Amino acid sequence: MDDELVLVTGGTGFVALHCIVRLLADGTRERATVRHPQRADDLRALVRLAGADPAGLEVATADLLDDAGWPAGVQGATHVLHVASPFPARQPKDEDELIVPARDGALRVLRAARDAGVRRVVLTSSFAAIGYGTHPGRRFTEEDWTDPSSRTITPYVRSKTLAERAAWDFVGREGGDLELATVNPVGIFGPAIGTDLSASLELLLALLNGKYPAVPRGTVNAVDVRDVADLHVRAMRHPDAAGERFLAVSGDAFEYRELSLLMRAELGDRARRATTRVLPDWVVRAAAPFVGEARTIAAELGRRVDASHEKATRLLGWTPLPREEAVLAAARSLVDLGLVRP
């Protein structure tokens, strides 16, 4: 559409970058936000690294913790992809360090979008807001919600759940004509752009570099970041997407050991450090009282979680790449970036 202008928040993030590149390939007018003005040049350099031309990309400065910048950021925008949200390498002691920017940041963006007459916001939520603290006894779908009162969930999981709940509540109560859709990805893999890695890619890099002598008996779901970007664009444009949640997942969950086996089979010597040993459950449980990461893993031991992308396929025609391709594309990009030890 000639009058379309899309704002992408958190422009230098893994998912946001792929959304930006996808929209540039479509010829869409774009604006992206960064937290600090000096990051504008970094963003353009990353877009070039991805093989796209950033000449038509506007850059605005806005922070999730501050109202300033958002009215100017959304000015003239027809759609917003609100991708920005904190994802820590380690869980903080004070969960408000995650909850406040995730929830209040989403509300800032939604409020500014409503006031500027934006048609639709697509919020990047997470499977974290769907599949924890409960289990329906079947594949998870968009009808499911994480129980934020559960004692077994992490601050990150709680932050994503509360942020998405707050977004739906805001649009329902005071959103006016503003439409909302959410995309709820599982673990996001696919090719890295630059060396600022997502949590899922950090996991692969740790495996490839032999950081772990063994892995726990746990699982991780996968989806390719390029498919996540594609789903954002479909949810932004399709008339039937308004008011809907969309799970982004490709196939069944991987066991951690399966990740190593896949990379060893396809990458050969570059993946020889990826362990295939499995930690006994009692070791993880023994470490849980002392190590935060072990406490999180212990709560999920032996729990295989599978989810369905039937809704995104049926309503939006979305078809993700195979889960193996998502993981291998990520692993190969880590090798190409020189991050894997020779």
- The CATH number of the domain holding residue 131 is 3.40.50.720
When pLDDT is averaged across residues 212-218 and rounded to a whole number, the result is: 89
Domain assignment present for residue 328? The answer is no
In the three-class reduction of DSSP (H, G, I as helix; E, B as strand; rest coil), residue 32 is classed as strand
Read off the pLDDT of residues 125-180 as tens digits, 9 standing for 90 and up. Answer: 999 999 988 777 789 999 999 999 888 788 888 999 999 999 999 999 999 999 99
Domain assignment present for residue 115? The answer is yes
Read off the pLDDT of residues 71-125 as tens digits, 9 standing for 90 and up. Answer: 999 999 999 999 987 655 556 666 787 888 889 999 999 999 999 999 999 999 9
Q: Tell whether the model's pLDDT for residue 301 goes beyond 90.
A: no
Q: Considering the chain, what percentage of its residues have pLDDT values greater than 90? A: 75
Domain assignment present for residue 121? The answer is yes
Domain assignment present for residue 271? The answer is no
Separation of alpha carbons 161 and 103, rounded Å: 9
CB 269 within 8 A of CB 254: no
Q: Tell whether the model's pLDDT for residue 1 goes beyond 60.
A: no
Structural domain count of the chain: 1
Domain of residue 166 covers 5-191+223-251+306-321
Domain assignment present for residue 261? The answer is no
Domain assignment present for residue 326? The answer is no
Cα–Cα distances in angstroms (integers) from residue 314 to residues 225, 240, 308, 326, in the given order: 20, 11, 11, 22
Angle, CA of 45, 123 and 54, to the nearest 5°? 20
Active site residues: 160
Q: Considering the chain, what percentage of its residues have pLDDT values greater than 70? A: 92
Give residue 287's pLDDT: 73
Domain assignment present for residue 74? The answer is yes
Give residue 293's pLDDT: 63
